[in-house]
Structure 1
Amino acid sequence: MDLILASGSPRRLELLRQIGVEPKVVVSHSEEEKKAASPAELVQDNALTKGRDVVRTMGDTVPVLAADTVVALAGHVLGKPGTPEKARSMLRQLSGKTHQVLTGMALYYQGKVWKHVEITEVTFADLTDREIDHYVATGEPLDKAGAYGIQGRAALFIPSIRGSYSNVVGLPLAPLRTIFAELDVTTHDTLPDTRNDTGGAAS
């Protein structure tokens, strides 16, 4: 199926390829919001903004999928640390606690918009300073929300999650089945037509 991915994230691209979709990548240059009433509103607003930015230049005759993912601890958003010092601070905050990973998605197609926010709870083990220092030294945490990647070495730190694993990576895959079906763009045999199913929320 044809799809435009409004994101330069290699992890989102790989997840779509996992389900047999090879999108055209068109990176949005919109400014991301940093504050909102809640983490859920933040990711939803950012996904909508990214999608609108790409639709302005590409149109929406082909579905345009945008997403934004954040890590939130007790309602406080932890972004990408950027520096080793900030990464260590974030990992110490997450150590021994359960936090949320939220992804907002927006899909634009032929004048319609489907939006969704997925929330996954992730539990971290108690981390020692030595473990944190060793992980930060790998460089893996620096460009990832919350200073960790569940698909990488940080898998060692996570004894349990509640919800979508792919959401923690950066794109919840299961809701796409509903998105593509409701907007009638399902053409790939790995994404069966579910228009007769109940559930989903189009708006």
Structure 2
Amino acid sequence: MTRLVLASRSPARLATLRSAGVDPLVRVSGVDEDAVVAAYGVDDPADVALLLARAKAEAVASVLVADGVDGEGVDGGTGVLVVGCDSVLDLDGLPFGKPGTAEVARERWRAMRGRTGVLRTGHWLVDLRDPDDGGSGASVGELASTVVRFADLADDEVDAYVATGEPLEVAGAFTIDGLGGAFVEGVDGDPHAVVGIGLPTLRRLVGQAGLPWHALWAAAGPAGTRD
């Protein structure tokens, strides 16, 4: 039985996978995002998102291999697939990640309100399964791009939203599955990718590793999907 390992601490990504019948193990990568971007000198939003997704997946995969679980699996499994993700808001061709501070979040929303941006979500999958158990050795990635139409917020709405703290630690300073959902007029593309992990995108990557998507349902089990 193959187990998916999510290289992210994001509760939204975890909840999305669980709602789709997949109960992943969580291993936080600890990747210094700013350092990685600076080391590679990238500034295109799509490139940043895919680069960071790969860095996170490969960092966790390296730890798992060092711990000797690549062929033996974890928690009774027979192998693992590691997925890393990263989201970046593309506004006028510039990358916007997590604001970090209230001041930056407020500036972002005043620039975004009433406009359209593109949420670029990078996905990277590393197959650590033993070849004797069907492992492909794949290390593959794909970008999901979703157009996001923002409401034209008044200043007091921006201030109230920023005061909640929610937009400070999420890519692009907004959510669609939280308090920020009322401030997004609509999306064109995969809404799961806006939450942080695109299920159709991940399904394609799992398929490239030679595994059908529904095989991960079996790994979850009934209890794993409805915690």
Match of 2:143 in 1: 117
Amino acid across the alignment from 1:149: T
Do the aligned partners of 2:45 and 2:90 also contact (CA within 8 Å) in 1? yes
Map 1:1-203; keep pairs closer than 5 Å: 1-32=2-33, 33-34=36-37, 36-59=42-65, 60=70, 61-110=79-128, 111-186=137-212, 187-188=215-216
Amino acid across the alignment from 1:176: L
Q: Which runs of 5+ in 2 are unaligned?
A: 71-78, 129-136, 219-227
**1:125 and 1:30 mapped to 2: Cα distance?**
33
Match of 1:198 in 2: none
| Deviations, residues 67-126 of structure 1 (Å, cap 9, x unaligned) | 111112011112211221111100001011100101111100042112100000101121
**1:16 and 1:29 mapped to 2: Cα distance?**
21
**2:94 and 2:30 mapped to 1: Cα distance?**
25
Amino acid across the alignment from 1:138: T
Identity of aligned residues (%): 39
Q: Secondary structure at the match of 1:53?
A: helix
**1:87 and 1:47 mapped to 2: Cα distance?**
23
Normalising by structure 1, we get a TM-score of 0.88
Count, aligned residues: 191
Quote how far apart the aligned CAs of 1:184 are: 2.5
**2:182 and 2:84 mapped to 1: Cα distance?**
30
Normalising by structure 2, we get a TM-score of 0.79
**2:54 and 2:103 mapped to 1: Cα distance?**
32
Q: Secondary structure at the match of 2:3?
A: coil
Amino acid across the alignment from 1:49: A
Q: Which runs of 4+ in 1 moved over 3 A?
A: none
Amino acid across the alignment from 1:101: L
Quote how far apart the aligned CAs of 1:177 are: 2.0
What is the RMSD of the two structures over their aligned residues, measured on CA atoms? 1.8
Amino acid across the alignment from 2:97: G
Shift of the 84–189 alpha-carbon distance from structure 1 to 2, 3 Å rule, reads closer
Q: Secondary structure at the match of 1:171?
A: coil
Amino acid across the alignment from 1:142: L
* Greater fraction of residues in helix: 2
**2:206 and 2:195 mapped to 1: Cα distance?**
20
Q: Which runs of 5+ in 1 are unaligned?
A: 191-203
**2:126 and 2:217 mapped to 1: Cα distance?**
22
**1:122 and 1:99 mapped to 2: Cα distance?**
5
**1:135 and 1:100 mapped to 2: Cα distance?**
21
Amino acid across the alignment from 1:74: D
**1:53 and 1:155 mapped to 2: Cα distance?**
32
Do the aligned partners of 2:121 and 2:196 also contact (CA within 8 Å) in 1? yes
Quote how far apart the aligned CAs of 1:37 are: 4.3
